[in-house]
Amino acid sequence: MIRLPAFEVLFPASVGEALEMLAAHPGSVPVGAGTDLLPNMKRRQVHPGVLVSLARIPGLFGIDTASDGTTVIGASTPLAQVADSTEVSPAMREAAALVASPQIRNTATIGGNLCVDTRCAFINVTEEWRTASGPCLKAGGDVCWVAPKGSHCYAISSSDLAPAAIVSGASVRLVGPAGERVLPVSDLYRPDGIDHMARRRDEILTQVLVPPAAGLRTTYLKLRRRQAVDFPMLGVAAGVRLAEDGTVSDARIVLGAVSPAPLRAVDAEALLLGRRLDRETIAAAAELAAKPVRPFDNADLGSRYRKWMAAVFVERALGALAAP
């Protein structure tokens, strides 16, 4: 049995109090349900001595609709509630419903999933395995075992909600000592497996803001080894708006779990504009979307297979959006 290391948990009653606690305890981290953080702590991937829990801050829970039609989701809202909500975009509902198991979805939060750590077969193992191979870049070493000749960490983005939120045009509200800022989810991630988020360490993600659909159709598909529990080996979110003549006026395709940050297929999106979603157009867009996908052998499904499946899943997603 792998046991958790010793740590302290603090329970602030407000976001302001949580920020004060983070400032007062260097190295502390905010935590929602901890469904990803605690297993990482068991494996000694991270070593926070203090966790600042957001579980008792009432303003971080629930789903509401603002006067302008924006859907406002509290960061501590469980994924099960997101999956069941008719106020959330279809892609985000589908992504939330595909995370882990029912028990975890009843606990895990949308904010936590958006901020989930990157994953790699060389870091998400026990401390003994990491010691045997030698520490990688993400574990404090000086080499990436995925690409030993490089100096970059290729741990993959493992959030299901991230591609779906980007396709839905969502933003996040971040609160820190310097005040609040609203950041598009597309700008929340960096192409670096270690420093993978634009959220500063002294900031707390408090809300997810989803604009009105305004005719945007969205969907999310997930590839994983099993049909439950597993992290994505590939996630594909797609969204389109159709003009009155049936042609595509807006297209969005985002691939997750193939790089350190969600990957937007801009060339495939451009191809779709002004065209009908017929079989030939969808197949061409799917092939184009898969071209920039360069997965590494750092997951439990091979990199070649994940690249092949990128085109397949984009084609399936666009096909679903083309259906009446």
- Work out the angle at residue 253's Cα, subtended by the Cα atoms of residues 274 and 292, and round it to the nearest 5 degrees: 105
pLDDT for residue 259: 97
Is residue 315 pLDDT above 70, yes or no? Answer: yes
∠ Cα 112 106 4 (to 5°): 60
Looking at the predicted structure, is the pLDDT value of residue 1 above 70?
no
Confidence (pLDDT) at 293: 97
What CA–CA distances, in Å, run from 3 to 11, 34, 40, 133, 235? 22, 15, 11, 22, 31
Residue 300 has pLDDT above 90, yes or no: no
**Chain mean pLDDT for the chain:** 96
DSSP-derived 3-state class of residue 92: helix
Decide if pLDDT at 57 tops 70: yes
Would the pLDDT of 144 be above 90? yes
pLDDT(125) > 70:
yes
Report how far residue 129's alpha carbon sits from residue 113's, in angstroms, rounded to the nearest whole number: 26
pLDDT tens figures, 194-240 = 999 999 999 999 999 999 999 999 999 999 998 889 999 999 999 99
* Whole-number pLDDT of residue 59: 93
Mean pLDDT of 275-287: 98
Q: Is the pLDDT of residue 38 over 70?
A: yes
320 φ/ψ angles, rounded to the nearest 5 degrees: -65, -35
What is the three-class DSSP state of 251? Answer: strand
Q: What is the mean pLDDT of residues 48-66?
A: 97
Q: From the CA atom positions of the chain, what is the Rg in Å?
A: 20
Task: For residue 248, give both structure tokens.
Answer: 């595509």
Q: How confident is the model at residue 131 (pLDDT cuts 50, 70, 90)?
A: confident
Distances (CA, A) of 194 to 161, 205, 277: 19, 19, 38
pLDDT band at 324; cut points 50, 70, 90: confident
Across the range 95-102, mean pLDDT stands at: 97
Average pLDDT over residues 20-34: 97
In this predicted structure, what is the pLDDT of residue 2? 85
